[in-house]
Chain A
Amino acid sequence: MTKAESAADPHGPAAIHAVPLRHPWRWVGAVAIIIVAGLFLYGAATNPAYGWDTYLKYLLDVRVAEAAWNTVQLTVYAMAIGLVLGVVLAVMRLSPNPVFRAVAWGYLWIFRGTPVYVQLVFWGLFPSIYQNIQIGVPFGPSLFHIQLQGLSLAFEMAFIGLGLNEAAYMAEIIRAGIISVPEGQTEASVALGMSWWMTMRRTVLPQAMRVIVPPTGNELISMLKTTSLVTAVPYTLELYTRTRDISAVIFQPIPLLLVAATWYLVITSVLMVGQFYLERYFSRGASRKLTAKQLQALALAQMGDHGGVPA
């Protein structure tokens, strides 16, 4: 035993109380930014072009709120179509069936290769291209018949158009998620007697979700804003077009632009909260760190141990 060891304090070495390092430039930077931001805010508040009284007047206007609700609906329906069709396309692209692979590839080629605005104009014209839809035996009796031209389908065509475009992008995101799951996972599932579909559903997709959710959050937020293009259909009752129509009447474009921007920002914030919880759910088991529940159980066990020892 060395001298240093024998002389060691039985309670262990004293905790270090060092003088912390100073960071003066952080303070200088923060002050500079606060000054610039303050000047900008002051300028914005006092500049009459922003028309803050008009902004406040229309922020909670019923027409604007309804338009915001329409925008949310368009987003949700279009994303739902995009997700479901995206899964189908992704699975088709990974399928051993060459017909499926070719069809999925062709779909992606067309829908990613043309601007969504152009596609929306096409869907707007769809009822005049296909005036009647008949389902039945070819050259035989008709079982179902619908006349498209007489209906006002702008809202439906808007979310269908957005959804079909989105599916092409979602397919690639989902495919990336699926191929990120190691092959051993599929093998283990198959070795346990699972079918292909059960392996997909119980093993592969839940693990793929970790990769799929963050870019899908991107797509959802992006979709919320892309709904402003459905004026191409033309559908005019969503947030951006509605506020622009109001501003055209009162000749005040800037405050209504800010109204629309505020609503978009609020909806996006709500969606981001949802994404946070979704990501947390699908990251189960991804980290070695113990969950709060596990830590609590361990702490309880430890307390039990100490309780058993007489003081």
Chain B
Amino acid sequence: MTPSEEPKAVHASAPMVRAEQVCKSFGALNVLKGVSLEVERGQVLVLVGPSGSGKSTFLRCINHLEQVSAGRLYVDEELVGYRERGGKLHELPPKEAARQRRDVGMVFQHFNLFPHRTALENIVEAPLHVKGVKRAAAVGRARDLLEQVGLSSKADAYPAQLSGGQQQRVAIARALAMEPKLMLFDEPTSALDPELVGDVLAVMKKLAQQGMTMIVVTHEMGFAREVADQLVFMDGGVVVERGAPREVMADPKHERTKAFLSKVM
């Protein structure tokens, strides 16, 4: 791993994510219309906005689950989904795209745990089969992660036997097992019963305190206020307003931001 990490050290101060006029359209439908933003290393960016504003699509572009249609998107100074050669962009071959995704953890609204594998098997799956980690090491690390998310006793439970909150915490552990440099959370608590939200947010907060770079799409404004370094409000496929969470929440500049915040707070 070290040779590939050498040149990156040069960019140690460069942002972890840099989006320049990112656009995404599905046929005639333009979902993202030029999103530009930066996320510094160790920063937590919270992305809010009404449904259909393009925040999930933007998140999926960062992980190359969707291909950017215009603009440039860099993760750790590396262009996502394309390769620039001779002034032209070439689509990345699947192997390269898979390598890029490996370093970016993603947590989904509906958890998407593998139902045919136990909590522990879910977590060791990718390290074992994608990274080729030895089983003993992968299992040891998975047990540590389960303890971190407070689920040591559930290692052998299947997802169907866990509550939503527990499933989401296993999903976070599963993403962390790949030792990502960036974590993406796509409405991680929206599908949960209210009393289970706190446990998941607590795990995310702990992760932020450990210095993980995170982009979180959420409606949990309390979490945004407490944990986020940057709050970005999106609407209609563009960034409407951004800034320190307390400032944006206390004194929104745009009418649309005001209208949205009055509904969620």
Interface, chain A (partner B; CB < 8 A): 182, 184-185, 187-188, 190-196, 198, 202-203, 206-207, 282, 284-288, 290, 294, 297
Contacts and interface: CB of A to CB of B under 8 A. Distances in A.
B99 A193 contact: yes
B212 to A, nearest CB: 16
B98 A193 contact: yes
A205 B101 CA distance: 22
B106 to A, nearest CB: 4
Nearest to B60: A187
Given A190-B65, A192-B174, A285 B129 contact: no
Given A284-B116, A294-B156, A188 B129 contact: no
Contacts of A196: 94
Contacts of B112: 182, 184-185, 187-188
19 contacts: A182-B112, A188-B112, A191-B63, A191-B65, A191-B101, A191-B175, A192-B126, A193-B98, A194-B126, A196-B94, A207-B114, A207-B115, A284-B158, A285-B159, A285-B160, A287-B160, A290-B161, A294-B156, A294-B157
Interface string B8-19: 000000000000
B125 A202 contact: yes
A245 B95 CA distance: 60
A297 B161 CA distance: 15
B65 A285 contact: no
A202 B65 CA distance: 19
A278 to B, nearest CB: 14
B160 A195 contact: no
Q: Enumerate the 8 nearest inter-chain pairs by beta-carbon distance, A residue then B residue, closest first.
A: A193-B102, A285-B158, A188-B112, A184-B112, A192-B126, A191-B106, A193-B130, A285-B115
Nearest to A182: B112
B23 interface: no
Interface string B83-123: 00000000000110011011011101010111111100000
A235 to B, nearest CB: 41
Nearest to A283: B116
Contacts of B125: 192, 202
A287 B129 CA distance: 26
Contacts of B115: 207, 285-286
Contacts of A294: 156-157
B108 A192 contact: no
